[in-house]
Amino acid sequence: MTQLNMHFSEDEQSRRVRNGALAAVVTQVVRLATQTGSVILLSRLLTPIDFGTYAMASPVLAFAVLFQDLGLGHATVQKDELTQTELSALFWVNLSVGAALAVTQVALSPLVARFYSVPNLAPLTSGMSVTLLLSGADVQHLSLLTRQMRFWTLAGLESAAALTGLLTSVVVALVYHSYWAILAGSLASGLMLAGGAWLSSGWLPSRPGSIRAARDMLTFGLGVTGYNFAEFLSRNTDGVLIGKVWGTASLGAYNRAYRLLLFPLQQVSNPMVRIMLPTLSGLLKEPERYRESFRRAVLPAFLLVLPGVAFMIASADTLVETLLGDQWSEAAPIFVALSIAGLLQTSNSPATWLFLSQGRAKEYMRWGLFNVSTSIGAFICGLPFGPVGVAIAYSISECIRTPILWWLIGRNGPVRHRDLLKVIGPHLAGALASVGAACLLHRWLLAHSIGGIPDLAACFGLSYAVSLTIVALFPACRGEMRRYAQSIGGG
């Protein structure tokens, strides 16, 4: 029987966290490579109509995915003591919800086809429902691996799934030259991940029984789901409003700017949640170790991402033109207007670790509802001024929400307001200094007719150098940097 309650010594836990960080980097590299390969290869094998058809059916699946695990994966990782009965109950709940969502999607597929007047969408939308079944079957097994901090196992499974999906899509596209190749890759990836999770975890569910034993975990999961739903609305409402009022061209520019700014955050936030949730959850009864682990995790996460965001803000015009092409010049001012929101969202990402590891799911959901309501209010206020107006209003709303968020976080739990200020303040100061320094260098280089890649490379290096220097001025951060250097050097 797989051990459900895992407790590690301080040295063992530190080692697993370091391994988790390295495994996360490897996984992200493989994902980036497979995503890039998929875009390049499938774009040559399929037509824009194939991609458009698949994109029409995708929103239905994306909405269903919000509810597929009910936040019960996080609940499994967070709970201090976990029994076979509780875990089995959650497994059957996840599987039942996945099956119900799959049946619902099949039932809705004719309506999707009728809405777009594309008959082929009905079977495609129905086929997508299989991914919901696969996800429902592997939630608890993947969560159990995370709980056990077996990050290299997870990295191997996710990398194998990504590569399997890419290979399957390419083979099917070579044979059939159809949008079904995209779905085939998705299903192959999901099957590989689910099968590998079952085999690797070594855990088998008991037969269905009462879910009363897992009532607290269900409540926790519903809180996480509520937050995810609110987050979904806040991430998509702006695009709907801009598309409705200002048209497809403005929406396209806004979407590209938004995605480009979010890219660095997405590469770090999800892996860090996976690492820090089991780490911090296991330390709730040891407040000092909890605070120490939080401080140590923030340093590499922020030093990796915040200077990069600062560089992107300072060199937005050249960056957008170089990466996206001249036709996307309209996206540059939108990117700059969104930049403050991007910088603050990056610095706010550890709030998720604290909410979830402390079991504060209801507060997490309430924060999500406050976030979406204020965001939508900002979108409406900025909408008359076009995409740039929406972006500016959103950044202003993020400035208002950020101190409220950290006040809320520091009210309870091991990490108090003073701890938050000491941990986050130096990195924000470094990021702001990097924006100023890189912006000055960028303008100087443009004035001397130096642009493109040399401009971006110089601003990138300066941004990281300035941020590292500012952060190192603070004794606590300097001590953490020294410890990391000794750890990497084997000292």
| pLDDT tens string 62-102 | 788 878 787 888 888 878 778 888 888 888 988 998 999 99
pLDDT in tens, 265-274: 666 677 778 7
Q: What is the DSSP letter of 120?
A: T
**Residue pair 201/143 in contact by the 8 Å Cβ criterion:** no
Output the pLDDT for position 247: 80
Residue with tokens 């079957």: 137
Output the furthest CA–CA distance in the chain (Å, rounded).
73
Classified as helix, coil or strand, 205 is coil
Residue with tokens 């001024």: 385
Output the pLDDT for position 430: 94
Indicate the pTM of the whole model: 0.77
Which among 389, 385, 386 has a CA at the least distance from the CA of 397? Answer: 389
**Residue pair 390/398 in contact by the 8 Å Cβ criterion:** no
Output the pLDDT for position 86: 84
Output the pLDDT for position 146: 85
Domain range annotation of the chain: 1-210, 219-491
- Amino acid making up residue 31: R
Output the pLDDT for position 491: 47
Query: d(Cα 283, Cα 7) in Å, to the nearest integer?
Result: 9
In this prediction, the residues of the chain whose per-residue pLDDT falls under 70 are 1-21, 25, 36, 39, 213, 248, 263-268, 487-491
Query: d(Cα 280, Cα 275) in Å, to the nearest integer?
Result: 9
Kindly state the helix (H) or strand (E) to which residue 216 belongs, with its residue range: helix 215-246
Output the pLDDT for position 7: 57
Q: 248: buried, middle or exposed (CB in 10 Å: 19+, 13-18, 0-12)?
A: exposed
The token pair that represents 411 in the structure block:
């009210």
Output the pLDDT for position 436: 95
- Amino acid making up residue 69: D
Query: d(Cα 338, Cα 382) in Å, to the nearest integer?
Result: 12
Output the pLDDT for position 396: 96
The token pair that represents 465 in the structure block:
């150098």
Q: Which residues contact 94 (CB under 8 A, 6 or more apart)?
A: 68, 69, 70, 72, 136, 137, 139, 140
Q: Which residues contact 424 (CB under 8 A, 6 or more apart)?
A: 298, 302, 347, 350, 406
Query: d(Cα 103, Cα 97) in Å, to the nearest integer?
Result: 10
CA 6 → CA 78, 158, 468, distances in Å?
11, 23, 36
Output the pLDDT for position 14: 63
